Amino acid sequence: MNALKIKKGATSHSAYNLRSTFSDVVEQHTLAVLVDNEAGVLARVIGLFSGRGYNIESLTVAEVDHTGKRSRITIVTRGTPQVIEQIKAQLGRIIPVHQVNDLTVEGPSVERELALIKVEGSGDKRVEALRLADIFRAKVVDSTHTSFVFELTGAPDKIDAFAELMRPLGLVELARTGVAALSRGGEA
């Protein structure tokens, strides 16, 4: 429980909490990066972010085209517009990167994250946790007499809100996948 120091009202949690050197308005962007699924490609992307001092709020990666050996990396990052442009340009320089799309600026998109939330307790708290889970349309995927594991899918804000509500009810552990995102509409 102590390991989970989620600040009240927080909507995101940074893997790298680095101070920005720019004083302009900081924006959050979701980038979709299509890469060759080859050894070390994730290390190249992560190394770029750590080496140049960019933020990673969330990162997911998985192969999306088995025959073409392509993976899709979805990165949520923060920075001034200038920094965001730099990040996109720097990602574009990586040789196995095919395409970089900024879902935040290229029209509407859907973002979803999956979380597993373990809540431990009994009596009223246990009932209340179950009731809230129902409201959030979280599924119970494991239960004992004293605990539940809920599965919840939604935008990151929704997961933040649910975790916040579970905290006084006995939240013991939280696992999140990070954001997966696609643009809305019929075009790739």
Partner 1 sequence: MARQMSGAKMVVQALKDQGVDTVFGYPGGAVLPIYDEIFQQNDIRHVLVRHEQGAIHAAEGYARSTGKPGVALVTSGPGATNAVTGLTDALLDSIPIIVLSGQVPTFMIGTDGFQEADTVGITRPCTKHNWLVQDTDDLPRLLHSAFHVATTGRPGPVLVDIPKDVQFATGTYQPKPKSSDFRYQPPLKANPEDLTELVAALETAKRPVFYTGGGVINSGPAASQLLRELVEATGTPITSTLMGLGAYPASGDKWLGMLGMHGLYEANMAMHDCDLMICIGARFDDRITGRTDAFSPNSLKAHIDIDPSSINKVIHVDFPIVGDVAHVLEDMLRIWKARGRQMNREGLAKWWKKIEGWREVKCLTYKNSDKIIKPQYALERLEALTKGRDRYITTEVGQHQMWAAQFLRFEDPNRWMTSGGLGTMGYGFPASIGVQMAHPESLVINVAGEASWLMNMQEMGTAVQYRLPVKQFILNNERLGMVRQWQELLHGERYSSSWSEALPDFVKLAEAFGAKGIQCSDPADLDDAIMEMLDYDGPVIFDCLVEKHENCFPMIPSGKAHNEMLLGDASTKGAIEVGGAVLV
Contact residues for partner 1 (CB under 8 A)? 39-40, 43-44, 47, 51, 82, 85-86, 89-90, 92-93, 95, 98
Nearest distance from residue 43's CB to partner 1, in Å? Answer: 6
Nearest distance from residue 91's CB to partner 1, in Å? Answer: 9
Across the beta sheet with 70-79, what order do the strands follow? 58-65, 70-79, 27-36, 97-102
d(CA 8, CA 180): 24
CB 49 within 8 A of CB 14: no
CB 86 within 8 A of CB 24: no
- The smaller minimum CB distance to partner 1, of residues 90 and 183, is found at 90
Nearest distance from residue 89's CB to partner 1, in Å? Answer: 4
- The smaller minimum CB distance to partner 1, of residues 7 and 19, is found at 19
Q: Burial level of 19, CB count in 10 A (0-12/13-18/19+)?
A: exposed
- The smaller minimum CB distance to partner 1, of residues 98 and 137, is found at 98
| Distances from the Cα of 113 to the Cα of 59, 179, 183, angstroms | 11, 5, 15
- The smaller minimum CB distance to partner 1, of residues 44 and 125, is found at 44
- The smaller minimum CB distance to partner 1, of residues 50 and 146, is found at 50
- The smaller minimum CB distance to partner 1, of residues 7 and 93, is found at 93
Nearest distance from residue 74's CB to partner 1, in Å? Answer: 21
Nearest distance from residue 47's CB to partner 1, in Å? Answer: 6
Nearest distance from residue 12's CB to partner 1, in Å? Answer: 26
Q: Is 131 helix (H, G, I), strand (E, B) or coil?
A: helix
CB 96 within 8 A of CB 70: no
Identify the helix (H) or strand (E) that includes residue 30: strand 27-36
CB 17 within 8 A of CB 49: no
